Structure 1
């Protein structure tokens, strides 16, 4: 049975238009606002609401008591349902640097989840945050598990994942990694650079070899110095994407504005980098093998190093609007189009257009989540 969304302001090609949306077999068909409705079709009246693409989170370690590094297939479903309620209709599960055995277990549970019938956000694939990272900027990564370049291992992981590792974070200065970036891309993996003290030239070599993003920009990396621009300078100067955690803690609002001014609205990707504490009260939690203390929503290791966030993308959207003063139509690509382009799913997701997946968020007048559709199905919230 067809579904229609009528009377809403629909976000198409970076502006809001009066359109009717028809959903058929989980796909979108854009119609004029006065298009006739088929007899017997379900109709959603979006009067007073804005109809926008579902949000895509390419970097998250968990939520609602679930840590990705210990998540079963059923646990992934808990995150899927929580994410959908906050406007995130697609996400990547970010596996923190771990043992080979545990990483393989995470991959196997991901595959089990893909065979389940579920009612939440789409789990699009796996993000490996490590193990090929710098010990100097390891953040919450367990140092004894960090590795030098090891393409046979990465290929083994990708084969086990049946091609579903979509994204990896590496440190360019780690021995052998720069030369391996083209091979990573041949495996179907988008490469990001981060957790790094790489110098400017080394960072540019990684970018020229095919790195396409900078992981949680400004955080866990060597910052810009006027004489030594480092990885930060290369990330800002180049045309790669830059992830940003817009919780007001990882980045000052002025830093967010600076990043957008330098990179442009088409090159920033709003992530959560959330941990299992997202959606839960303050307390003690886990991030991989690490103990994390959350106070006032701020997640830190016992040594005071920040360890992920408790952010959700609906909050990130409102933060970005408040931090920048920009219009909604300018900010939406950071949560939809840009991440979709980054991980190569823009042919199916990231915008409202004919033939794309019917992943839709309805925003009210205050830009809060009113309702969410995933694959054309209205999510229970």
Structure 2
């Protein structure tokens, strides 16, 4: 049935909760009302006055449930999407770690196959390229021999192969030519983030002024601020760009999360997971692209060198951590996982809030903020 009423919910709209029913037709929110009237042909889902919030959006993740995006088939992407939906994620970008041209094109091909088939899970809305135009000194888990200077023909080839669905890219401002090619990347329909970088303040600010929109996992794999040399971190804090934040308590101290929100404003911070294939699984040995990763107590690190390599964070745990770290209520911090990433990607007309005309991407939370139900474009994702 394509017609659904979600009844008796505390619905999050306009920054607060109000009791209402949500009427959904063909995956779109048609009405938010206190009087549904006689709608006999509608399926009814009664949430018994639990909270209904917009579906979570994760713009930076490398996988989960033993699937690494760089090696994921179309069916593997389904597995990630299903797991994510159970955590409250309704939309996500698959983050392809810097890899060979051949493997990157293979990943894009698998994305296309996934997009063209039915999926029982979160909507995979596009691709995030983390590299390859990154600084070797701040490469993190990137294979150094595959890091290159800007090659717009390569990105055009990727974008053509993806039918325009490369939505987001991470670049390092200090890589020669990057500031001047940001406008070209934007013309291809790609939102540009700066990160994996030791750039000084001036070159970072030049990239921001030239159109960079976001900072990748702020403060991680990034030269930090000094009072005489603000560096990229200082430019990111001073400017109006969005800041990704991995709120797992490991990548950022809770005090830094609070400081970031206080400095940037709550509407400019985007919570991401940067999750890897170990997410949802026990400690052990895993992969992140070409890298071997060891997970101990949920903390993922490179087997060679011990640098932190992504996370095992989920979006619902990021939300709970944000509430704990900041002591702010749900209605304040929820935007970091909904409105902010949607706005950053230019998709707020479709997702990111519970509004008439938008996709019915919804999450039902109990009083402990556990996920009770997830709806992706009006379809309930069942355990």
2:363 maps to: 361
- Per-residue Cα deviation, 1:60-117 (whole angstroms, up to 9, x for no partner): 0000000000000000000000000000000000000000000000000000101111
2:378 maps to: 376
Over the aligned positions, Cα root-mean-square deviation in angstroms equals 0.7
How many corresponding residue pairs?
381
| TM-score, scaled to structure 2 | 0.99
Q: What are the within-5 Å matches in structure 2 for residues 145-156 of structure 1?
A: 145-156=146-157
* Equivalent residues of 1:4, 1:37 under 8 A apart: no
- Per-residue Cα deviation, 1:266-310 (whole angstroms, up to 9, x for no partner): 000000000000000000000000000000000000211000000
Counterpart CA distance in 2 for 1:149 and 1:208 is 18
Counterpart CA distance in 2 for 1:136 and 1:202 is 16
- Per-residue Cα deviation, 1:242-265 (whole angstroms, up to 9, x for no partner): 000000000000010000000111
* Equivalent residues of 1:48, 1:364 under 8 A apart: no
Q: Structure 1: 5+ residue runs without aligned partners?
A: none
| TM-score, scaled to structure 1 | 0.99
Q: What are the within-5 Å matches in structure 2 for residues 299-310 of structure 1?
A: 299-302=300-303, 303-310=305-312
Counterpart CA distance in 2 for 1:66 and 1:351 is 29
2:179 maps to: 178
2:47 maps to: 46
SS at match of 1:141: coil
Counterpart CA distance in 2 for 1:281 and 1:37 is 49
Counterpart CA distance in 2 for 1:119 and 1:111 is 16
Q: What's the offset of the Cα at 1:320?
A: 0.3
- Per-residue Cα deviation, 1:350-378 (whole angstroms, up to 9, x for no partner): 00000100110000011110101011011
Matched, 1:240 2:244: no
1:72 maps to: 73
1:169 maps to: 170
Matched, 1:313 2:315: yes
Counterpart CA distance in 2 for 1:247 and 1:117 is 32
Q: What's the offset of the Cα at 1:19?
A: 1.6
* Equivalent residues of 1:127, 1:166 under 8 A apart: yes
Matched, 1:218 2:219: yes
Q: What's the offset of the Cα at 1:37?
A: 3.9
- Per-residue Cα deviation, 1:151-202 (whole angstroms, up to 9, x for no partner): 1111111111110000000000001111000000000000000000000000
* Equivalent residues of 1:26, 1:376 under 8 A apart: yes
Counterpart CA distance in 2 for 1:6 and 1:44 is 6
SS at match of 1:92: strand
- Per-residue Cα deviation, 1:9-58 (whole angstroms, up to 9, x for no partner): 10011111122100101000233212314013111111231010000000
Dislocated runs of 4+, deviation >3 Å: none
Counterpart CA distance in 2 for 1:114 and 1:278 is 23
- Per-residue Cα deviation, 1:125-146 (whole angstroms, up to 9, x for no partner): 0000000000000000000000
* Equivalent residues of 1:67, 1:276 under 8 A apart: yes
SS at match of 1:16: strand
Matched, 1:324 2:322: no
* Equivalent residues of 1:6, 1:33 under 8 A apart: no
Counterpart CA distance in 2 for 1:321 and 1:375 is 27
SS at match of 1:356: coil
Counterpart CA distance in 2 for 1:283 and 1:366 is 29
Counterpart CA distance in 2 for 1:183 and 1:40 is 50
Q: Which moved more, 1:15-24 or 1:123-132?
A: 15-24
1:86 maps to: 87
* Equivalent residues of 1:48, 1:365 under 8 A apart: no
